[in-house]
Amino acid sequence: MTNYAIEVRDLRVARGGRAVLHDLTFEVPHGSVVGLLGPSGCGKTTLMRAVVGVQIVQSGTVTVLGRPAGHRDLRRRVGYATQSPAVYADLTVRENLRYFAAVLGADRGDADRVAEEVGLGGARDQVAASLSGGQLNRASLAVALLGRPELLVFDEPTVGLDPVLRGELWELFHELAGRGTTLLVSSHVMDEAARCERLLLMREGLIIADDTPDALRERTGADDLEQAFLKVIEQRGKVAA
Amino acid sequence: MSPAITLATARRILTQLRHDHRTLGLIVGVPTLLMILLRYVLDRPQAFDRYGPMLLAIFPFTVMFIVTSIATLRERTSGTLERLMTMPLGRLDLLLGYALAFGLTALVQVGVVSAVALTWLGLDLRGSVWTLLALTLFAALLGVALGLLASAFARTEFQAVQFMPAFVLPQLLLAGLFVPRDQMSTALRWIADALPLSYLVEAMRELTGQAGLTGTLLRDTAVVAGCTVLGLLLGAATLRRRTP
Whether A103 sits inside 8 A of B8 (CB atoms) is yes
Residue partners of A63: CB distance under 8 A and separation at least 6: A2, A4, A6, A7, A8, A9, A69
Nearest to B4 among A72, A95, A102 (CB): A102
For residue A201, is pLDDT > 80?
Answer: yes
Q: Tell me the C-alpha distance between A220 and A12, whole Å.
A: 28
Considering only CB atoms, which chain B residues are within 8 Å of A105? Answer: 4, 88
Q: Tell me the C-alpha distance between A152 and A3, whole Å.
A: 17
Whether A82 sits inside 8 A of B79 (CB atoms) is yes
- Burial code (b: 16+ CB inside 10 Å, e: under 16) for B92-106 equals bbbbbbbbbbbbbbb
Residue B28, phi then psi, degrees to nearest 5: -90, -40
For residue B176, is pLDDT > 60?
Answer: yes
Q: Tell me the C-alpha distance between B154 and B162, whole Å.
A: 9
Residue partners of B164: CB distance under 8 A and separation at least 6: B62, B65, B66, B69
Q: Tell me the C-alpha distance between B151 and B81, whole Å.
A: 13
Q: From the candidates A103, A125, A141, A153, which should be mutated to test the interface with B, based on the most B CB atoms within 10 A?
A: A103
- Residues B31/B113, Cβ–Cβ less than 8 Å: yes
Q: Which residue of A has its CA nearest to B93?
A: A103
Prediction ipTM score: 0.90
Rounded to the nearest integer, the mean pLDDT of chain B is 90
- Residues B110/B56, Cβ–Cβ less than 8 Å: yes
Burial of B58 per CB tally in 10 Å (0-12, 13-18, 19+):
buried
Select from A79, A195, A194 the least CA-distant residue to A140: A79
Q: Tell me the C-alpha distance between B8 and A144, whole Å.
A: 18
Query: Which pLDDT band, with edges at 50, 70 and 90, does B154 fall under?
Result: confident
For residue A239, is pLDDT > 80?
Answer: no
Q: Please name every residue paired with A80 in a beta bridge, in sequence order, or none if there are none.
A: A153
**Percent with pLDDT over 70 in chain A:** 98
- Residues A100/A135, Cβ–Cβ less than 8 Å: no
Q: Which residue of A has its CA nearest to B87?
A: A75
Whether B86 sits inside 8 A of A78 (CB atoms) is yes
B100 secondary structure, DSSP code: H
- Residues B234/B149, Cβ–Cβ less than 8 Å: yes
Q: Which residue of B has its CA nearest to A96?
A: B12
Question: CA of B22: how far to CAs of B16, B17, B27, in Å?
Answer: 12, 9, 9
Burial of A43 per CB tally in 10 Å (0-12, 13-18, 19+):
buried
Q: From the candidates B15, B83, B89, which should be mutated to test the interface with A, based on the most A CB atoms within 10 A?
A: B83
For residue B208, is pLDDT > 90?
Answer: no
pLDDT for the residue numbered B177? 80
Select from B9, B85, B71 the least CA-distant residue to B243: B85
Considering only CB atoms, which chain B residues are within 8 Å of A127? Answer: 19
B79 secondary structure, DSSP code: S
| Dihedral angle sign, alpha carbons of residues A116, A119, A123, A127 | negative
Question: CA of B145: how far to CAs of A121, B77, B236, in Å?
Answer: 38, 19, 10
Residue partners of A36: CB distance under 8 A and separation at least 6: A44, A47, A48, A184, A185, A186, A187, A200, A202
For residue B56, is pLDDT > 60?
Answer: yes
Mean pLDDT, to the nearest integer, of B12-28? Answer: 94
For residue A3, is pLDDT > 80?
Answer: no
Min distance A127 CA to chain B CA atoms (Å): 9
Query: Which pLDDT band, with edges at 50, 70 and 90, does A106 fall under?
Result: very high
Residue A180 or B126, more confident = A180
Considering only CB atoms, which chain B residues are within 8 Å of A89? Answer: 78
Q: Tell me the C-alpha distance between A186 and A157, whole Å.
A: 8
Q: Tell me the C-alpha distance between B114 and B104, whole Å.
A: 15
Query: Which pLDDT band, with edges at 50, 70 and 90, does A240 fall under?
Result: low
Q: Tell me the C-alpha distance between A46 and A60, whole Å.
A: 14
Nearest to A95 among B15, B87, B243 (CB): B15
| Dihedral angle sign, alpha carbons of residues A173, A177, A178, A180 | positive
For residue A1, is pLDDT > 60?
Answer: no
A115-164 tens-digit pLDDT: 999 999 999 999 999 999 889 999 999 999 999 999 999 999 988 788 88
For residue B213, is pLDDT > 70?
Answer: yes
Bridge pairing between strands A198-203 and A33-37 = parallel
Query: Which pLDDT band, with edges at 50, 70 and 90, does A20 fall under?
Result: very high
Query: Which pLDDT band, with edges at 50, 70 and 90, does B128 fall under?
Result: confident
